[in-house]
Chain A
């Protein structure tokens, strides 16, 4: 957890090309966080903040609120530069046409030829967290092991239902999109922002299994609330052995 920094302790300006940024949204009892990516290709350049705010609200901003904490991904610096360039490309290609908000898969979310979001039968839209996963995926840096990710629990389904209700109230959302999201409620897995942030913070055994992402996510939430992690994160003995042997 030494790669997660609050801006009060360490300015986001010290990032190495890319950082995953996360903040609490609303009251802590809402149990809701928002995730995005901050990046710059050249070390001396200004930082850019890229995030999927809501339905068709992909935003690229040149400032980052001090409420965000940031995760320094455990990725070699040269790969982070590639990731930053890809962020720039994706922002360039999608700011106009925009990305819908839904619970679609982050795999193959962007067209190889145009870098535009691929709207289709399997990719209906992304959340703020799956958008970050999709961007890392595009840079060949898969953060999460999607196979075996837990099915949505009652909290997740309640959250998905609340997103659907909010989409219904949002002007301009098409009936087709509402129907597509309706079908996904309760059937699509939920990638929580804190789990994605936690997965970015470790290098070992990446793509990260759900059990580790969940444990790391809980630690991230504690850090965001100014609490200390319960215990130091550890891989299972079996995974430590596989990691030592260099096996997937």
Chain B
């Protein structure tokens, strides 16, 4: 169905009809339709109208203006998501918590998760269930979904909709070609770090691949990907983020990335990726010479320096 061909009235009629059909089934959303009075329901019962309603209301409020508020625009996606749902009938969440997300790092994530938890606690556990059941997470960056899991970790037993959501996150990561281990990291490492911290780390690693700007700490994320055995993501992480650095004229920051690279912790693939990505710019990266020497020395020490390995990378 092409949803955009429906007018607002027809859309709501269609939505009501869908509600009636779903209510008496065992669909994962039927519990909400059975318990919530019609007047207090969210403005959507299935995911697709939620997006259409947002777009239609944008058009109604600004019929001549450019239609740039759709969730697909990368820099505005996270903010768009937060303003798209409301915690009950109260005020919308303060969207300033998203201000750092276009250039995220773990501290920004931590701040975001704490802020969202504080807001959600005012409305109660029911709101989290609504969010899990009705927010169109497919239209969001995956790392936002993982952050949502981090925010709800301590309430996991009270949120039936969350269990399904965890599986959806896992499937999404798999469809992106990322190693399953990335998600299992959260389950395996619970002894050494709280699950919430692990979710933050996972979200950061995914953000390093998803964001369209260089993400703080991307080199560490690449090293972590390599340790998990996901070489494809490790290399993509280095090449993409270094490309964004160059695109945005951040040669100084790029040199800092090279200077602070932890050679002893890194594997051969991440090291070679940094050398390959920076080779055409060696004259403008003063730290690269020492980095090359360090890589050579480390590979020799590890017995990995085979003939021709560093050809063209000096």
Contact = CB atoms under 8 A, between A and B. Distances in A.
Contacts, number: 65
Q: Classify the secondary structure of A's interface with B.
A: loop
A201 interface: no
B281 A112 contact: yes
Most interface-central of A42, A85, A206 (chain B CB within 10 A): A85
A78 B269 contact: yes
B117 interface: no
Given A113-B247, A140-B279, A140-B313, A85 B239 contact: yes
Contacts of A112: 243, 246, 280-281
Contact of A79 (B230, B231, B272): B272
Interface residues of A, number: 23
B312 A86 contact: no
B243 A115 contact: yes
A86 B232 CA distance: 11
Given A78-B268, A85-B235, A140-B313, A203 B279 contact: no
Q: For chain B, give the interface size range.
A: 20 to 34
B115 interface: no
A126 to B, nearest CB: 18
Interface in A205-224: 206
A45 B231 CA distance: 11
Interface string A176-213: 00000000000000000000000000010010000000
Contact of B243 (A41, A82, A113, A139): A113
A78 B232 contact: no
A81 B309 contact: no
Nearest to B237: A85
A26 interface: no
A45 B308 contact: no
B302 to A, nearest CB: 12
A142 interface: yes
A81 B312 contact: no
Contacts of A113: 243, 246-247
B217 interface: no
B306 interface: yes
Contacts of B8: none
